[in-house]
Amino acid sequence: MKKLPVLVVCLVLASVSVLFYSFQPRNGNGKNPDTVRIEPGLVSGIKSKFSGVVAFKGIPFGAPPVGELRWKTPQPVQPWSGVKKCEDFGPSPMQGKPVPFAVYTPEFLIPEKPISEDCLYLNVWTKAHKGDKRPVFVWIYGGGFTSGGTAVPIYDGEAMAKKGIIFVSVNYRVGVFGFLAHPDLTKESPDKASGNYGLLDQIAALKWIKKNIAAFGGNPDNVTIDGQSAGSMSVNCLVASPAAKGLFNKAIAESGSLMIANPLIKANNLDAAEQQGLKLAAAVHASTLEELRKVPADDLMKFPGRYAPIVDGYVLPEPVSQIFAEGKQNNVPVLTGWNADESFVAGFKKKEAFIQQAKDQYGNDAEKFLQHYPANTDEEAARSQVKLSRDMIFAASGYKWASLQSAQGKSPVYVYYFSRKLPATADYVKYGAFHTGEVAYTMNNLKFLHRPWEPADHQLASLMSSYWINFISNGNPNRNGLPPWPGYNTATKQAMVFDKTSGKQELPDWPELEFMVGR
């Protein structure tokens, strides 16, 4: 056999090597990292071989808020050398063990581990290149300000990033670690405020985005914040806050705001919140901040408290509703709405008890109240209690926000009503269009939620995520080929109703909501 020239052999071997390498995992375990330089140093992520989207998970945006930094404004991250592998979610914020309940299967919950006070991490999904200027979407999770995290399965950002945006999700401190106020904390603060550390985390993440997102191909001047439940209330606070001015230019709020008093999450003033902080310090036998900061995290969580955003004089200089009424909020387009069946009723009252409660609570307005929330039978009373819970906790506050923004006429507002009863087994069918049920649709993430989906659900997810992408891109959900979604105004009250068949119509249940906000 004739021998091939050495040069030819080398070229053949080199070609085979390149071909072999191109089909192999870059680091031997299926992970294909891309590297980006941000302010503290280099970070690497993982590129999806299917979509081309690169996920950077667990990027620190603040120093660990532990020890002396517990209950302080987020501090800068220390620079690092080399490349920081950002391939896994950072720890979720400190909270109780996540346990499925009611309709909330594991797809709605953070992983059991890791959970830590060291939680100031964010995640970026991008298909862009440095130099691109793609719209940026910032996700703020719910959880009643006591739980939640970015590692929840249905919050995955790949599907939305695939549609041409930069998807960012951010952790923030919750519970006693995110919203404790105390006179000594107020005194030591340069802003003479305490209690809103969770909101300060969100603001710190937005400042990080302003500085760093261009390196991922994002436009720091085209940022949309979106939150659901407590995340929606956070969005409402950020729109109201002078401390967040200039950090975003559009807002989406899914199910909730602090425009009216919330029976589950009541925004207190600083004095009342400081008194709660003093009681906690006494309960754990801490007479100084130094001692309080040394108390183990698990011990702090043993004592009950209602921790949520407060009027602290800095992040929120006035009640949110007052800021909006006076037109002092950040002037941005808003997309907001709620779900048909989202409610949290601990136990149903019989018709007689429900009627008596109405008389006790609404006095001369009780008769009018019972017209909106009738109780002629026990079954009707139960249905009214579900609707009342939805309206008081989620819908009425969004309705007030939309109505006020429409009346002021400075920026457009778009309203939706999600009424799709999610397909479910017999165990879950009773929950209907439940709280958080819309999220998998808006993010086009049905694959992460284990339900017997129908073709109509995939069509709805495509529709809703397209509306969201349009709004994220330019502040208007409309685009040629989609059913028209009119801006909301108090005269026509037109909203987009999402269901098996979606379209614009008069906002359902608006008379009940008008009654709730008018009191």
- Catalytic residue set: 229, 342, 435
Q: Are 465 and 163 in contact (CB under 8 A)?
A: yes
Q: How far apart are CA 201 and CA 195, in angstroms?
A: 12
Q: Return the closest-CA partner of residue 216 out of 167, 160, 250, 172.
A: 167
Give every CB contact of residue 111 below 8 A, 6+ residues apart in sequence.
89, 92, 98, 151
Q: Is the dihedral of CA 296, 301, 303, 305 positive or negative?
A: positive
Q: Are 178 and 172 in contact (CB under 8 A)?
A: yes
Of all helices (H) and strands (E), which one includes residue 384? Answer: helix 378-390
| Buried b / exposed e along 304-340 (16+ C-beta atoms within 10 A) | ebebbbbbbbbbbbebbbebbeeeebbebbbbbbbbb
Q: What phi, psi does 66 have (nearest 5°)?
A: -125, 165
In the sheet that 250-254 helps form, which strands lie side by side, from edge to edge?
A: 46-47, 54-60, 121-126, 166-170, 134-140, 218-228, 250-254, 334-339, 413-418, 494-498, 503-506
Q: Are 156 and 46 in contact (CB under 8 A)?
A: no
Q: Return the closest-CA partner of residue 513 out of 371, 417, 354, 372.
A: 372
Q: Are 423 and 449 in contact (CB under 8 A)?
A: no
| DSSP conformation class of 37 | E
- What tokens appear for 260 in the block? 């009216």
In the sheet that 35-37 helps form, which strands lie side by side, from edge to edge?
A: 35-37, 42-44, 83-85
Q: How far apart are CA 441 and CA 464, in angstroms?
A: 6
Q: Return the closest-CA partner of residue 396 out of 342, 358, 449.
A: 342
First to last CA, the chain: 98
How many other β-carbons are positioned within 10 Å of the β-carbon of residue 475?
Answer: 20
108: Cα separation from own chain's centroid: 13
User: What DSSP string describes 101-136?
Assistant: BTTB-GGGS--SS-B-S---EEEEEE---BTB-EEE
Q: SS3 for 222?
A: strand
What 317-323 contacts at long range (C-beta under 8 Å, 24+ apart), as own/partner pairs, is 317/242, 319/258, 319/267, 320/236, 320/237, 320/240, 320/257, 320/258, 320/259, 320/267, 321/258, 321/259, 321/260, 321/400, 323/240
Q: Return the closest-CA partner of residue 240 out of 73, 121, 397.
A: 397
